[in-house]
Amino acid sequence: MDAIDYAWYDQGRYCNYWELDRTLRRELERVSPEGEFEWAEPRLQEFGGVVGETVADNADHADKHGPTLHTYDREGNVQNYVEYPATLEETERLAYEAGVVADAFEAPPEREEPLSHTHYFGMLYLLSYAETSGFVCPAAMTAGAAHVLELFDDGDLDPYYEALTSRDHDSLIEGAMFLTEKQGGSDVGANETVAEYDEESDCWRLTGEKWFCSNIDAEGTLALARTPDAPAGTDGLSMFLVPHGDPDGGVLTNRKRNEFDGNPPPEALNDQRYRRLKDKLGTTNVPTGEVEFDGTKAHLVGQQEQGFKQMAEMLNLERLSNATGACGIIGRALLESKIHAANREAFGQPIGEFPLMKADLVDMAVDHEAATAFTFEAARYFSEREQARRDGETAETTNRMMRLLTPVAKLRTARMAIDTASYAMEIRGGDGYVEEYVTERLLRDAQVLPIWEGTENVLSLDVLRALDREAAHEPFAVVVQDHLDSVEHPSLADAAETVESEYHDLLGAMADLAGRDEEYAQLKAKRLAHYIFDVFAGALLLAQAQRELDEGNGRLALVARRFVANELESRDARGITDGERFAVEQFDAIVRFAPVSPDELAESGN
């Protein structure tokens, strides 16, 4: 496959993101179940073009003309009406009808079984190239709500599940999850919302306040509340589905909303009040606000006092969606930077010809490769676990790996997205700081990624729990060693030796923390999480590089070695005096995807 000439493009849109992102294509082909990638590729190809053309323009418009909340009508009645720009509605229709959510839950046309969750993550990744963290949030929560109902509903909420997984925009509903309360934040157990059963109306009613509610008017909202006499903390929480409309009137789909010109009358609404929308730094095209429950009708999901465990299942999917979206932002920021560097001239030549810019683009590309490989490996474990569940089987080892890798993927890729978007803005210069260019939106939207679905500190503590309660270090050690044992090519030997040494040090660190007091373990938890990312990503990239070398291409070997050098090697004088010219010599291979002969790789020593 020929190298990509980024000078042919003048901006990172009006193109097909699927065709340009060879990293995503490689990873999806690697992690998809047998035969699925070949079947799904035409859908991904088509969706990559839709996102690169229509959705990219719609996202910029919706960012500047976001949703508006009209809490009251002109007569003072609560109406909770959120007005959306037409561009965002078009994006919703294009994405949902393309199967971004439905494909993983219901069999697409001409197929007997649903596609895997890895396909869902691939579609979400492509959507993130244009919608960054905006509409990607409602799409991810729609998938999350469907996932929870699939796992825990006994059939009473089938109409909601069917609407969440619909391919018809008019019969679709979206999902949301209202976790955050003013006094709680990450301390979900401090939840003060209460749920009481109304025997006269034969329904549950919620009373309380939710403080940070994204996709505020979703019909498939999941919320946590405490039933009477339930214990304190997370053990006493139950999960409820809280519709936007009155549950007695049935599911309020997009079609039914259209019957009211998008503005249902008061008698069609549930008993709640959308107080206001938040004025946010980014993600302005998803309505995030404050909700007051006042005897709000709700459906119990599954059994009482199981809500936090149920929400944890949704969080696994949401955290991987967050990581997937981060990889999409990194990909778009990198694409914008490559195109600008290939076209912008300074001092008589394109800025991409200067050694410092080559080094920057090489390292941005290597970060993108590592983030995407790690995230889709975690997604593979999630997908395989869910398939085992559907087949009535257990997948204990897979579950333990998923529990460890998911928080690590989320915390690291979120930070990488911010750093990459910030530097993409710098590469463009002053223009990158103004609204006419997409880089300022990429940075604003990326900034929410470390906050959504658990901060870096919360996720680091989840890593400790996975090691302690799941003994996740046991399968982790086996997987990393298997990756390293597969590496045979001489050009990978030094990098593999470095990863092997760090891998043993990491296992020693895990064992050391297991014997320490809780305070000390928590103090070092974040460093441990990042160390896990570096070692696992290094081993994974090396194993993939070996497979590509066996197939005749040495490009990924260069990527793997650069990642190991950047993240795991220590260099004298910080590498200033080592004589290395990697970024200049291997620029075309890493940044432009030029093929590299394995023989040439071995002969040159690069």
Predicted pLDDT at 498: 98
User: Do 267 and 246 contact (CB within 8 A), yes or no?
Assistant: yes
Helices and strands, counts by H and E, the chain = 21, 11
User: Do 262 and 70 contact (CB within 8 A), yes or no?
Assistant: no
User: Do 551 and 515 contact (CB within 8 A), yes or no?
Assistant: no
Predicted pLDDT at 603: 55
Residue 455: strand, helix, or coil: coil
Predicted pLDDT at 256: 77
Whether 605 has a pLDDT exceeding 60, the answer reads no
Length of the chain equals 606
Q: What are 401-416's pLDDT values in tens digits?
A: 999 999 999 999 999 9
Whether 185 has a pLDDT exceeding 80, the answer reads no
First vs last C-alpha separation in the chain: 21
Q: What are 453-472's pLDDT values in tens digits?
A: 999 999 999 999 999 999 99
Looking at residues 205-229, what average pLDDT do you find? 95
Burial class (CB in 10 A: 0-12, 13-18, 19+), 375: buried
User: Do 239 and 301 contact (CB within 8 A), yes or no?
Assistant: yes
Whether 606 has a pLDDT exceeding 60, the answer reads no
> Which residues on adjacent β-strands are paired with residue 381?
none
Predicted pLDDT at 47: 98
Q: What are 571-584's pLDDT values in tens digits?
A: 889 888 899 999 99
Single pTM value for the model: 0.97
Predicted pLDDT at 184: 66
Using CA atoms, how far residue 116 sits from 37, 113, 359, 394, in Å, is 10, 9, 37, 17
Using CA atoms, how far residue 80 sits from 73, 275, 445, 525, 543, in Å, is 9, 8, 26, 42, 53
Q: What are 513-538's pLDDT values in tens digits?
A: 999 999 999 999 999 999 999 999 99
DSSP letter for each residue of 124-165? HHHHHHHHTTSTHHHHHHHHHHHHHHHHH--STTHHHHHHHT
Task: Report the candidate in 404, 398, 419 with the shortest Cα–Cα distance to residue 461.
Answer: 404
Predicted pLDDT at 258: 74
User: Do 288 and 216 contact (CB within 8 A), yes or no?
Assistant: yes
Task: Report the candidate in 301, 165, 298, 179 with the shortest Cα–Cα distance to residue 244.
Answer: 298
Evaluated on CA atoms 24, 28, 29, 31, the torsion sign reads: positive
User: Do 308 and 224 contact (CB within 8 A), yes or no?
Assistant: yes
Distance CA 159, CA 606 (A): 58
Is the model more confident about 58 or about 258?
Answer: 58
Task: Report the candidate in 220, 23, 33, 16 with the shortest Cα–Cα distance to residue 120.
Answer: 33
Distance CA 81, CA 69 (A): 6
